[in-house]
Chains A and B, each alone.
Chain A
Amino acid sequence: MTTIETPAPQPSGTLSPGSRLFTLASRYGTFVAFLALIVFNVAVTPNFLSWQTLNVNLTQVATIVIVATGMTLVIATGGIDLSVGSVYALAGVGMGLILRAAFPAGAAPPSDAAVIFVALISSLGIGLLCGLVNGVLTVGLRVHPFIITMGTMMIFRGLSAVVSDSQSISLPDALSRLVRFNFGLGPMVKPVPALVMLFTAAAGAVFLSRTVPGRHVLAVGGNLEASRFAGLRTNRIVAGVYVLSGLAAGLAAFVGCGYYGGAGSSDATGYELFVIASAVVGGASLSGGRGSAVGAMLGAILIELIRKSITTLRFNQNYEWIIVGAAIIIAVVLDQASARWTARRLARDAAAAPSAGEQKGEKPV
């Protein structure tokens, strides 16, 4: 369960077959557990693969995964963002109010495209602004992001209650038509949330593994001082991940509120903990330098599957949280143990390894 696209020790040509197997198993541990739970659920629940079950489960999980992608970036810098649930609520409520103001009830019915455009801009914009506040405060005040985002978590939640007067706001049908669009595949198919989820996770994975800012995020999380010594603009990088995290929460609000057709100031309460759990189960290290967007997606789905399995098994529902909590701890402990083990194994194998130059059959200069 180590990272999938980040600086996990890569199995190299010099490894023994045993350690290679172990490395692979540990890297894809989440994935293996994930497949096992799916097979189990499919075998035990006859209608697990029915559209209805899938729609419900995937929509729940999609918003978590979208937010967890942003959170993974924050955690990879060694930070934390506790405000994501509140940003979701504020973005949802704000989007509703802006739509209501932009398209008053009495006026001519607006086109779907106009509604969607305004909704998208407002939810993403609010998310981005909230993230910017988090980032600027964290960098500017030099206070631990746990404190800053705990504060803004309460402030944003309060703001969303103030602006909506704690009333839930219904959203135009155009949004749910988009988010519940079935691509002509039948009335029960609603793949949009899942597609957005896959897209976000993929974008996060590519960002971390292939882009310059992604590499900078991992460097800053691995060693802030050394990154500064290497000439990176560390403040900008740290602030940037909070902006991306806010943006992700805004996107999740668009998808989630759009799907359900309404937004309220108590939406997504307690979300932050699910999201953090998904990221760490997916291999992110809270001390920074390590994180995987695909891992976070698998982590979120894994947690959801565990909860489903409890229903499937007709376990006493009261035990659900005990089992989920234990599973999170076990997943992370296993991940750390395997990372340590892999590191030791690699070091032992490295001892015998020749230099890069010699390996290529060339004389060292």
Chain B
Amino acid sequence: MASVRFEAIAKRFPGVQALSDVSFEIAAGSCHALCGENGAGKSTLGKILGGIHAPDGGRICLDGKPVHFRDPRDARAAGVAVVHQELAFCENLSVAENLCLGALPARGGFIDRAKMEERAREMLEAIGAGLDVRAPVGRLTVGQQQMVQIAAAMSGQARAIVFDEPTSSLTQHETEKLFELLRRLRAQGVTCIYVSHRMAEIFAICDAVTVLRDGRHVATCSIQGLTEDELVQMMIGRKVEAPRPAHVDAAPGEELLRVENLASPGRFSGVSFALRAGEVLGMAGLVGAGRTEVAQALFGLDPAATGRIVVQGREAAIRSARDAMAAGLGLVPEDRKRHGLVLSMNCRENATLPMLERLARWAFVRGGEERGLVDAYFRTLNVRAPDMDFPAAGLSGGNQQKIALAKWLASRCRILLLDEPTRGVDIGAKAEIHALIGRLACEGHAILLISSEMPELLGLSTRILVLREGRVAGERSRAEATQDGLMRLMAGLRAA
């Protein structure tokens, strides 16, 4: 059992003050929620406790004694473990090998396989998880991998475990199993720190909650007597109602994109919809419903995709991103760092990458023209960077996202496919991106908005398309759509 006290913790990352002056205490043996919106600093705080990041200021006290973790090993030695959002395993090795990797039992220089598997089995049994210890970790489901990670954490005699958004890729069933385990851990006296922004889970499992907003501590209070609305309001810091965006009342213009029977074997099938100028078509669905796959297929990145794509009344043969661009489509991908930006290049080079040929005379880039164009779009989008030659890697998520968007605007794409455009950006930038989406729609762009955040979908979409297991499960107009109704449609439940 261990109580954890944070005293004036501060942490800054390039371009963003992630935490400042955060102080509160977590009672020993409790299950304590750390919540806040994306970019609030909740994961960062969890990582500081786990020794993954070192704080720039302040200190952590464990059972009243100040501790300094230089790395996760230090934290583990003190009894603090982290179950990560992104699971880190040697996927080619077996469950047993992964669990015993730090101290492989050996006999005469050879691995003692029987002993290793025995030990791994014990570790898994201790948390009530019955898994095949010989299976390669890469073949387990995400939920099972998480169990392995928790078993590893517990074997180190952890007294406090940080769960960093543990349910973000779990199924309903797996989530329930995880909750069972959490209750069991708490009964054993382990302090659980539960990092999440999912209301239902916080209320289901936690005793107390700490709310962070923009890297600052807002409140720490008991779950009892707290309502969801109150908690949401603390997280957001304002009344939940956003102003009604202008584009939803405007009459939609001409049809810019029509998709008929788009399909890709094993990913999705029979996806059809139309998109008009001035519309924001929301696309809802659970993880794995095929939303990203549909967007990437539309953008010519899925060679196996079939179906008809009609752009502005003309059938478009889109077989590569290049074709898609030529047809006037732009994709802001979900994974900004892997697909959205070239982080080794500067902001300007990223912004003009897709359309450099248009800025060139005989293959030579016209520098002045390039700068003028980038300057104009950076100002429209209010990109916060010291200058346009600043390395893209040094910007905050929100500003990086604006650059990912700027490159399609600069390429004069009228059909924008936005895949989770506000994932991992801080609150201020998120509001800006929302306003921007509204403005782009008003200016006559047609926008496909993929999002896992209900308020975002409900707030911005003129219509919402729901995908389930690779098929269109239904469509709701703005007036009909409710959070509950969409969730049921996404999960395949009957309407209440």
A residues neighboring B (CB under 8 Å): 7, 9-10, 12-14, 210-213, 215-216, 218-219, 221-223, 225-233, 288-290, 343, 346-351, 353-357, 359, 362, 364-365
Q: Which of B325, B338, B378, B390 contacts A12 (CB 8 A)?
A: B390
Q: Are B390 and A218 in contact (CB under 8 A)?
A: no
A-B contact pairs, 19 of them (CB 8 A): A7-B344, A7-B346, A12-B389, A13-B387, A14-B386, A210-B367, A212-B363, A221-B344, A225-B338, A225-B339, A226-B339, A229-B331, A231-B354, A233-B322, A288-B344, A343-B394, A346-B394, A356-B383, A356-B387
Evaluate contact between B321 and A346: CB separation under 8 angstroms. no
* Interface residues in B324-380 (C-beta closer than 8 Å to A): 324-325, 331, 333, 338-346, 349, 353-354, 356-357, 360, 363-365, 367, 375, 378-380
Q: Is the CB of A219 within 8 A of B342?
A: yes
Q: Is B198's CB within 8 Å of the partner chain A?
A: no
- Nearest CB of chain B from residue A66's CB, rounded to whole Å: 21
Shortest Cβ distance from B370 into A: residue: A215
A211 contacts B386, CB within 8 Å? no
The 3 A-B pairs of least Cβ separation, nearest first, read: A347-B14, A289-B344, A222-B344
Complex Cα spacing A351 to B357, Å: 33
Q: Which of B321, B331, B342, B378 contacts A356 (CB 8 A)?
A: B378
Contact A347 B15 (CB under 8 A): yes
Asked if residues A230 and B354 are in contact (CB atoms below 8 Å), the reply is yes
Q: How long is the Cα–Cα vector from A14 to B367 in the complex, in angstroms?
A: 22
A211 touches B391 (CB 8 A): no
Q: Verify if B171 is at the interface (C-beta below 8 Å from A).
A: no
Residue B483 at the A interface, CB < 8 A?
Answer: no
Chain B residues with CB under 8 Å of A213's CB are: 363
The answer, among A13, A218, A223, for a CB contact under 8 Å with B338, is: A223
Q: Known interface pairs A215-B349, A231-B324. Does A351 touch B12 (Cβ–Cβ under 8 Å)?
A: yes
| Smallest beta-carbon distance A241→chain B, Å | 15
Task: Kindly provide the distance from the CB of A342 to the nearest chain B CB, expressed in whole angstroms.
Answer: 10
- A212-B365, A347-B15 given as contacts; is B344 within 8 A of A362 (CB)? no
B407 and A230 within 8 A (CB): yes
Known: A229-B339, A350-B15; 9 extra A-B contacts, CB below 8 A, are: A212-B360, A218-B344, A225-B338, A230-B353, A231-B325, A347-B14, A350-B14, A350-B385, A364-B379
Q: How far is the CB of A222 from chain B (nearest CB, A)?
A: 4
Residues of the B chain whose Cβ atoms lie less than 8 Å from the Cβ of A355? 382-385
B301 interface residue, CB < 8 Å from A? yes
* Minimum CB distance partner of B389 in chain A: A10
Contacting residues, chain B, for A211 (C-beta < 8 A): 360, 363-365
B259 interfacial contact with A, CB 8 Å: no
Q: Is A222 a contact partner of B342 (Cβ separation < 8 A)?
A: yes
> Interface size of B by Cβ–Cβ distance < 8 Å?
50
Report if B181 contacts A (CB, 8 A): no
**Closest approach, in angstroms, between the C-beta of B372 and any C-beta of chain A?**
13
Are B384 and A227 within 8 A (Cβ)? no
Closest Cβ of chain B to A326, distance in Å, is 28
Closest chain B residue to A9 by CB distance?
B391
Nearest chain A CB to B321's CB is how many angstroms away? 4
Flag if B382 contacts A357 (CB, 8 Å): yes
A365 to B432, CA, bound (A): 10
Bitwise interface map of B from 302 to 330 toward A, beta carbon under 8 Å scored 1, else 0? 00000000000000000011101100000
B379 touches A365 (CB 8 A): yes
The residue on A at minimum CB distance from B393 is A343
| Minimal beta-carbon separation of B56 from chain A (angstroms) | 11
Q: Which residues of A contact B349 (CB under 8 A)?
A: 7, 215, 218-219
Question: Chain B residue with minimal CB distance to A218?
Answer: B345
Q: Which residues of A contact B354 (CB under 8 A)?
A: 230-232
Residues of chain A within 8 A of B427, CB atoms compared: none
Contacts of B383 in A (CB 8 A): 355-356
Cβ–Cβ < 8 Å partners of A232 in chain B: 321-322, 353-354
**Contacting residues, chain A, for B385 (C-beta < 8 A):** 350, 353, 355-356
Complex CA distance for A223 and B364, rounded to whole angstroms: 22
Closest to B395 in A: A350
Give the complex CA separation of A365 and B382 in angstroms. Answer: 6
Chain B residues with CB below 8 A from A9, complex form: 346, 390-391
A229 pairs with B14, CB closer than 8 A: no
- With A213-B363, A215-B353, A222-B344 known as contacts, the answer to whether A353 contacts B386 (CB < 8 A) is yes
A183 shortest CB reach to chain B, Å: 30
Pick the contact of A223: B342, B378, B391 (CB < 8 A): B342
Q: Please, which residues of chain A bring their CB within 8 A of the CB of B15? A: 347, 350-351
Return the chain A residue nearest B14 by Cβ. Answer: A347
CB nearest neighbor in B for A209: B365
In the complex, B388 has a CB within 8 A of chain A: yes
Given A215-B349, A223-B343, A226-B338, do A210 and B394 touch, yes or no (CB 8 Å)?
no
Q: How far is the CB of A200 from chain B (nearest CB, A)?
A: 18
Shortest Cβ gap from A327 to chain B (Å): 26
Contact with B353, one of A225, A227, A364 (Cβ below 8 angstroms): A227
- Report B254 CB to chain A, min CB distance, Å: 24
Question: Within the complex, what minimum Cβ distance (angstroms) separates B271 from chain A?
Answer: 20
Q: Is the CB of B391 within 8 A of A343?
A: yes
Give Cα A55–Cα B371 distance, bound, in whole angstroms: 44
Bound CA span A321–B256, Å: 66
Task: Give bound CA distance, A226 to B403, whole Å.
Answer: 13
Asked if A231 contacts B363 (CB within 8 A), the reply is: no
Tell me whether B301 and A228 are in contact (CB under 8 A): yes
Given A212-B356, A229-B321, A365-B379, the answer on whether A349 and B386 have CB atoms closer than 8 Å is: yes
Docked complex Cα distance between A212 and B340 (Å): 19
Question: Is the pair A231, B384 in contact by a Cβ cutoff of 8 Å?
Answer: no
Give the docked Cα–Cα distance between A212 and B385 (Å).
Answer: 24
A137 to chain B, nearest CB (A): 21
CA distance A53 to B358 in the complex (A): 49
Given known A346-B391, A350-B386, A350-B390, contact A226–B12 (CB-CB < 8 A): no
Question: Chain B's nearest CB lies how many Å from the CB of A72?
Answer: 15
Instruction: Give the docked Cα–Cα distance between A364 and B379 (Å).
Output: 7
B379 engages A357 (CB within 8 Å): yes
A347 and B395 CA atoms in complex are apart in Å by: 8
Hey, which chain A residues are within 8 Å of B331, CB to CB? Answer: 229
Q: Is the CB of B340 within 8 A of A229?
A: yes
Q: How distant is the Cα of A289 from the Cα of B353 in the complex, in angstroms?
A: 14
**Cβ 8 A contact of B345, one of A233, A289, A349:** A289
A216 to B352, CA, bound (A): 11
A215 touching B365 in the complex, CB below 8 Å, given contacts A228-B321, A231-B320: yes
Contacts of B395 on A, CB cut-off 8 Å? 350
Question: In the complex, what's the smallest C-beta–C-beta distance from B344 to chain A, in angstroms?
Answer: 4
Question: Which residues of chain B are within 8 angstroms of A218 by Cβ–Cβ distance?
Answer: 342, 344-345, 349
Question: Max chain A CB contacts within 10 Å: which of B321, B325, B340?
Answer: B321
CA distance A356 to B375 in the complex (A): 8
Report the nearest A residue to B356, measured CB to CB: A212
Residues in A whose Cβ lies below 8 Å from that of B341: 223, 226
User: A354 to B379, alpha carbons, bound, how many Å?
Assistant: 12
* CB-based nearest B residue for A344: B14
**B402 CB, nearest partner CB in chain A, Å:** 10
Residues in chain B near residue A346, CB distance under 8 A: 390-391, 394
- Would A210 and B342 be within 8 Å (CB), given that A7-B349, A219-B349 are in contact? no
B1-51 residues at the A interface, CB under 8 angstroms: 12, 14-15, 17
